[in-house]
Amino acid sequence: MSKKILLSGIKPTGRPHIGNYFGAMKQWLEFQTVGQYDCHFMIADYHALNFIQNSDEMRRNSLELIIDYLAIGIDPKRSVLFKQSDVSAHTELAWIFDTITTMPYLMRAHAFKDAEAKDKEISAGTFNYPILMAADILLYNTDTVPVGQDQKQHIEYARDTAQKFNNTFGETFKLPEALIIKEVAIIPGTDGQKMSKSHGNTIPLFSSRDEIVKAVMSIVTDSSGDIPMNVYNIHKLFRSETEMKTLYDNNKGKYKILKEALIEDLDLFIKPLRERREEIAKDTDTIKKILDDGANKARSIADKKLSEIKTAIGVI
Ligand code: AMP
Ligand code: TRP
């Protein structure tokens, strides 16, 4: 029986944080280990181009993110690890999808509505973001897309687009499913809001000890209750419910002790990742080779699918 197909990705827009890890990347590792899926993990650099428009920064961020993937345990022998821009079928398919997508439909996207509400000037790339993402997913006949809650609507756009194409040109695409784990769908940041690179409330996944201390000390504590909920909600990622209950029951109102305990738990978790990352980062030749191999594998799947699509629309 053929394996199911899994695909996910992250934009190289800055250092990943523990929200990215617990919301999405940890699930990637679990699927890679189970072995029932053909896993594909992408660096979404063309999506990042909407935010990063500086060649040095783009190059650096992409390289850093590949190192991050490897450091958490993405294994190029078991998964296809590739950069979106290395596989031109993604942007080509996005164009094809553009022609069957209406503007009012794209105007209903949360990301577009948020940008519009803030009176931001929106690029055509930002407007079309969900269509490029639909292409990323559908080119690989993906069954499952493990992501955080904020990506739910994008997966629905991919499903709708697949359905619309199938209705117009004949059965070509599978309908993918989002995999969102309720308990970790929205990891809060140091201010209690969703942890996000753009909110300045992150705990970076590969933080130094000093950065961990600084981030934890900046967690906004609620001085009215006995339990500092913003600390608790991050802390529970690292301890069982029983352990958490004992720790927080025994230290009611003692915010400093609880924050110090969180610092230790975070450092215990991050230290080995940080050390592995330092080792991997030294060998840029191997990293380049991994990306070349990944690009070749991804291209051979995507190009085959694109030929099928081009036949369906009648350009070949
Ligand atoms: P991004 O950093 O926006 O490219 O997100 C990469 C992945 O991490 C996506 O699957 C997001 O849904 C997920 N993610 C980002 N922030 C959070 C968060 N605070 N909680 C849970 N998942 C998140
Ligand atoms: N939009 C995703 C994010 O911001 C990144 C992404 C691009 C993605 N293409 C994808 C995620 C395909 C899953 C599948 O996090």
- Across the chain, mean pLDDT equals 96
Which ligand ends up closest to the CA of 42? 2
Which ligand ends up closest to the CA of 129? 2
Structural domain count of the chain: 2
Mutate to test the pocket of ligand 2, among 84, 143, 147, 161 (most ligand atoms within 8 A of CB): 147
Residues 64 and 174 reside in one and the same domain: yes
Residues 140 and 177 reside in one and the same domain: yes
Residues 41 and 118 reside in one and the same domain: yes
Domain with 233, as residue range(s), is 197-279
Give the type of residue at 148: G
Q: How far is the CA of 78 from the centre of ligand 1 (A)?
A: 23
What pLDDT, on the 0 to 100 scale, is given for residue 221?
87
Q: Is residue 192 part of a domain?
A: no
Q: Is residue 34 part of a domain?
A: yes
Residues 205 and 304 reside in one and the same domain: no
What pLDDT, on the 0 to 100 scale, is given for residue 35?
87
Residues with CB under 6 A from ligand 2: 7-11, 44, 47, 133, 136-137, 145, 147, 151, 154
What pLDDT, on the 0 to 100 scale, is given for residue 223?
63
Residues 124 and 227 reside in one and the same domain: no
Q: How far is the CA of 9 from the centre of ligand 2 (A)?
A: 5
For residue 167, what is the domain's CATH number? 3.40.50.620
Residues 18 and 104 reside in one and the same domain: yes
Q: What is the pLDDT of residues 23-69, one digit of tens each?
A: 999 999 999 999 899 999 999 999 999 999 999 999 999 999 999 99
**For ligand 1, is residue 111 a contact (CB within 6 Å)?**
no
For residue 259, what is the domain's CATH number? 1.10.240.10
What pLDDT, on the 0 to 100 scale, is given for residue 224?
63
Percent of the chain whose pLDDT exceeds 90: 93
Q: What is the DSSP letter of 184?
A: G
Residues 170 and 208 reside in one and the same domain: no
Residues 92 and 134 reside in one and the same domain: yes
Residues 112 and 167 reside in one and the same domain: yes
Q: What is the pLDDT of residues 146-172, one digit of tens each?
A: 999 999 999 999 999 999 999 999 999
What pLDDT, on the 0 to 100 scale, is given for residue 44?
98
User: Is the Cα dihedral 69, 75, 76, 78 positive or negative?
Assistant: negative
- For the chain, which residues score pLDDT lower than 50? none
What pLDDT, on the 0 to 100 scale, is given for residue 1?
66
